[in-house]
Amino acid sequence: MIRILTLLAMLLPALVACSKSETVNIYSARQESLIKPLLDRFTSETGIEVNLVTGAGDALLARLSSEGRNSPADLLLTSDAGNLYRAQEAGVLQPAISAELEAAVPEHLRSPEGYWYGLSLRARVIVYARDRVNPDQLSSYQALAEPQWEGRICVRSSANIYNQSLVAGMLASEGVEATDQWLQGFVGNFARPPQGGDRDQIKAVAAGQCDVALVNSYYLGAMLQSPEPEERAAATRVELFWPNQEGRGTHVNISGAGVTQAAKHPEQARRLIEFLLREESQRWYAESNNEYPVRPGVAPSELLLSWGSFKADMINVSELGRLNAAAVMAMDRANWK
């Protein structure tokens, strides 16, 4: 009996270590319903348990920073390259590099240093009232600063990271002077003070409060498939337009993931990112979220295909984070509230 107890005592640390190694703890800014089924598949396939903590992106980053190396999180999953870049700059991520990750994610949709990788692609598009706007009037983001759009534009506030990244992309491609000039005209054409989220902008166009709005395309997809009749009705009153097809292409961004600096299970976290980038995962993710796959060769959903193909801006999305502070200052100069 003593020998058995001694043997168990010797094996216990190894058993605990093995148990701990088969876990991934995620801090996720994405809703549980949008990611949990894939995480369950990962566990079923690999035996690695996944613990999920959800919250707002800023709050999760603040939590990671305050927890430091004592953080239980192995993986940060969030939306917008601006947020991922902030996490990288805050020192809460570590590189996770593998041939599989580099093959799955185009170079412009991941951190050049391997700190984070895009999981899905979203586009910031123009939606317009089908009964009041001729699409021939539309062309680019820059053209929305023209006098014909005075009092006709709805958009959410400058505090929104999606808008900040849009302006950062313009700074990267057009420079400060041209971006400042565009912002002055664009803000001057607002139909109302910025308010609400992207769904609210679509509803405002449908209700006649404005004629065009800037939104992420997946919000329109979600409204078209909404269980709420009012949302579906509003979505059917608008159309989607791909801006800047004659120039640099439509502004795109990502949702993505990175292994935390404090990760106790970095190998398992990297395996989970690789799993989320497999073809079948990308296809499910795109179908469920109305976003585009980042992995080349994976077709989007039928709804997204119905919107047609588009030319996307090929700027490395890390630039959207690098220029975030400059974008916020430019928006302030234009009095974009």
DSSP codes joined into one string, 220-280: HHHHHT-S-HHHHHHHHTEEEE-TTTTTT-B-EEEEEEEEBTT-S-HHHHHHHHHHHTSHH
Three-state SS at 293: strand
The pLDDT value given to residue 21: 56
* Whether pLDDT at 94 is above 70: yes
At 166-222, the pLDDT tens digits run 999 999 999 999 999 999 999 999 999 999 999 999 999 999 999 999 999 999 999
Comparing CA positions, the residue from 115, 120, 88, 93 lying closest to residue 104 is: 120
Is there a binding annotation on residue 128? no
The stretch 75-101 carries a mean pLDDT of: 95
* Helix or strand holding residue 50 (H, E): strand 49-54
* Whether pLDDT at 115 is above 90: yes
The pLDDT value given to residue 262: 97
Q: 3.30.200.20, 3.90.380.10, 3.40.190.10, 3.20.20.80: which CATH number matches 122-251+317-333?
A: 3.40.190.10
Comparing CA positions, the residue from 77, 67, 73, 74 lying closest to residue 32 is: 77
- The answer regarding whether domain 2-121+253-299 maps to CATH 3.40.190.10 reads yes
88 in Cβ contact with 258 (< 8 Å) = yes
pLDDT band at 153 (very low <50, low <70, confident <90, very high): very high
CA angle (326, 330, 331) in 5-degree steps: 120
163 in Cβ contact with 208 (< 8 Å) = no
Beta strands in 55-170 (DSSP E): 75-79, 117-129, 153-154
A 10 A CB-CB count for 122 gives: 22
Is there a binding annotation on residue 285? no
Distance CA 251, CA 40 (A): 32
**Fold identical between 2-121+253-299 and 122-251+317-333?**
yes
Domains of the chain, residue spans: 2-121+253-299, 122-251+317-333
The stretch 67-96 carries a mean pLDDT of: 95
A 10 A CB-CB count for 66 gives: 9
